[in-house]
Amino acid sequence: MVDNADDLFGLPLAEFTSSRNDLAARVAASGDKAEARAIKSLRKPSVVAWTLNQLSRRHKETVQLLVDTYGGVGTAGSAEDVRSVAETRRRLVTELVDAAGNLLAEGGSASSQTTLQKVSQTLYAGGDEQDHELLLQGRLVSELGSPSLDSAFGLLPSTDEGPAAPNEIDKDLEMLRREAAAAEHSAVQLEEAARRSEAEADRARAELAGADERASRARREADAARNMADEAGIKLEEAPNATHGRDPSP
């Protein structure tokens, strides 16, 4: 039994609705009708949002570091800064996606490649400041927002101000930022493909090891049978000689 609305978002996903309704009924019985209505109106998180909430609650420091990168590259002053923040974000997202698979299994949900891909994409997208706050609180009900391509990976600043006067350095930096965004997206897809290939390779190695063991056993049995045949042949050759050497008279 949960004591407040915040606790609802830490429950297994299957328990959210019944626990929300129970909490709303208890709050209403205590006399706080407005709070009860607010609790009853809480939406059940999607599977991806639930996964992100659990990541935030169990890996809060890592999620905080990731949130810090969303605006980091947008204020970067050099191409090296862009690459540094992009690499940090890639590492953090990979770490969190790996943890997400375990969380989904614990929560009774299949950690399908599609779900993990959505978790990865929404962590890269980042959303807006309100999304960041809900993520850090572990109270998301849907995936993070999808900003424009330039800001989706936090690689360009998101402001209402007009663009600064262009110069050659700014143009080069913008190009690098766009390339970094595209590279990060490709890296996610390649990492997922690599994980699938590694799993298939592990299965193939296990099957090969079994085949090698069976072949070795068959070779040992064949060698044993050959030795028995050789011994039988020797005995057969010796048998007539032993007979010839006996005195046939009674």
- Looking at residues 129-155, what average pLDDT do you find? 70
One domain for residues 107 and 14: no
Residue 21 within a domain: yes
pLDDT at 157: 35
How does DSSP assign 205-235, residue by residue?
HHHHHHHHHHHHHHHHHHHHHHHHHHHHHHH
Residue 63 within a domain: yes
pLDDT at 199: 79
Residue 119 within a domain: yes
One domain for residues 36 and 129: no
pLDDT per residue over 76-125, tens digit each? 556 677 788 888 989 999 999 999 988 887 766 666 788 899 999 889 88
Contacts of 66 (CB under 8 A, 6+ apart): 89, 92, 93, 96, 123
Residue 245 within a domain: no
Q: State the pTM of this model.
A: 0.57
- Looking at residues 202-223, what average pLDDT do you find? 84
Report the mean per-residue pLDDT for the chain. Answer: 77
Are the C-beta atoms of residues 9 and 1 closer than 8 Å to each other?
Answer: no
Q: Give the number of domains in the chain.
A: 2
**What's the rounded Cα separation, in Å, for the pair 69 and 92?**
10
One domain for residues 30 and 52: no
**What's the rounded Cα separation, in Å, for the pair 62 and 92?**
7
One domain for residues 104 and 25: no
pLDDT at 184: 65
Residue 228 within a domain: no
pLDDT per residue over 17-72, tens digit each? 999 999 999 999 999 999 999 999 999 999 999 999 999 999 999 999 999 888 76
One domain for residues 201 and 80: yes
pLDDT at 102: 87
One domain for residues 148 and 133: yes
- Looking at residues 176-182, what average pLDDT do you find? 59
One domain for residues 18 and 111: no
Residue 215 within a domain: no
Place of tokens 């709070």: 35
In this prediction, residue 212 has a pLDDT band, given cuts at 50, 70 and 90, of: confident
pLDDT at 111: 61
One domain for residues 10 and 116: no
Residue 237 within a domain: no
Residue 192 within a domain: yes
One domain for residues 53 and 113: yes
One domain for residues 144 and 33: no
One domain for residues 20 and 63: no
One domain for residues 132 and 104: yes
Mean pLDDT lowest for which of 111-115, 135-139, 211-215?
111-115
Domain residues for the domain of 9 are 5-40
Are the C-beta atoms of residues 109 and 64 closer than 8 Å to each other?
Answer: no
More confident residue, 14 or 149: 14
In this prediction, residue 129 has a pLDDT band, given cuts at 50, 70 and 90, of: confident
Q: Does pLDDT of 155 surpass 50?
A: no
